[in-house]
Structure 1
Amino acid sequence: MDEFLGKKYVLTDSENFEDYLVYLGLSYIARKVALRLNQFHVLLKNEDGTYTFQFLSTVANSSITFKPGEEFEEVKADGVKVKALIVFEGNKMIHTQTDDDGKVSRHEREFYIDKMTVVSGFLYPSF
């Protein structure tokens, strides 16, 4: 992943993102705002071996710091706390989030020299 560190990727398209926002329960207007954000994504490696993934836009910025393969608590942009796990597989960063209701979200980010693609998905809780 070192060749992708520090690069600012512009999010131009995100597969299944609106379906993911519906799954989260966002209103129509909130979904349309989220879809129109001009976002940048940046992956950084910290001196202590952790990574920081930044989400930057003109409206709001957020970031998460993690160690690959170790579960951590994440507060998502909508304020919901989830248990998260990020692993690297080749040029992919696979980010899984589980909320208290058992909803599981998965974001697969694939890094290239000139772009990053994101595929978002979800699993319904089994009761």
Structure 2
Amino acid sequence: MDEFLGKKYVLTDSENFEDYLVYLDLSYIARKVALRLNQAHVLIKNEDGTYTFQFLSTMANSSITFKPGEEFEEVKADGVKVKALIVFEGNKMIHTQTSDDGKVSRHEREFFIDKMIVTTTADGLDKIVKRNFIVEQQ
């Protein structure tokens, strides 16, 4: 994963993302705001062996710090706490979130030198969400 560290991946387009937001029970206004965010993601490796994954946008920024393969508590952008687990498999970062109501979401981020493709699936969601990001040139 080292070759993908520190790169800023900027959202270019999405498929079925609003359907996922409906699945998460976000309000109409919250969904519309989420759909309009100019999102970017950055993965950083920390000196202590943990990683920080940053979610950047024009309205708000957030981040999660994790150790691959170890479950942790995550507070999502919508304020919901979930149990999360992130593992690396080759050029993929697989992020599983389980909420208290039993909903399980899986975000598979596939990193490339010039882009990142995020595929999201969830128990009970009958669609696959695809989000495409490109590397912002510095």
TM-score range, shorter chain: over 0.9
Q: Distance in 2 between the 1:43 and 1:56 partners?
A: 11
Higher mean alpha-carbon deviation, 20-29 vs 35-44, is at 20-29
Map of 1:84 onto structure 2: 84
Partner of 1:11: helix, strand, or coil? strand
Unaligned runs of 5+ in 2: 125-138
Partner of 1:77: helix, strand, or coil? coil
1:26 aligns with 2:50: no
Map of 2:37 onto structure 1: 37
Map of 1:49 onto structure 2: 49
Map of 1:72 onto structure 2: 72
Count of residue correspondences:
124
Quote the offset at 1:12 in angstroms. 1.4
Q: Distance in 2 between the 1:33 and 1:10 partners?
A: 17
Quote the offset at 1:65 in angstroms. 0.3
Q: Distance in 2 between the 1:107 and 1:95 partners?
A: 5
Q: Work out whether residues 15 and 120 of structure 1, in 8 Å CA contact, stay in contact via their aligned partners in 2.
A: no
RMSD: 1.0
Unaligned runs of 5+ in 1: none
Quote the offset at 1:13 in angstroms. 2.3
Map of 2:9 onto structure 1: 9
Structure 2 length as normaliser, TM-score? Answer: 0.86
List, as ranges, runs of 4+ consecutive aligned residues in structure 1 with deviation greater than 4 Å. none
Map of 1:61 onto structure 2: 61
Considering fraction of residues, name the structure with more strand: 2
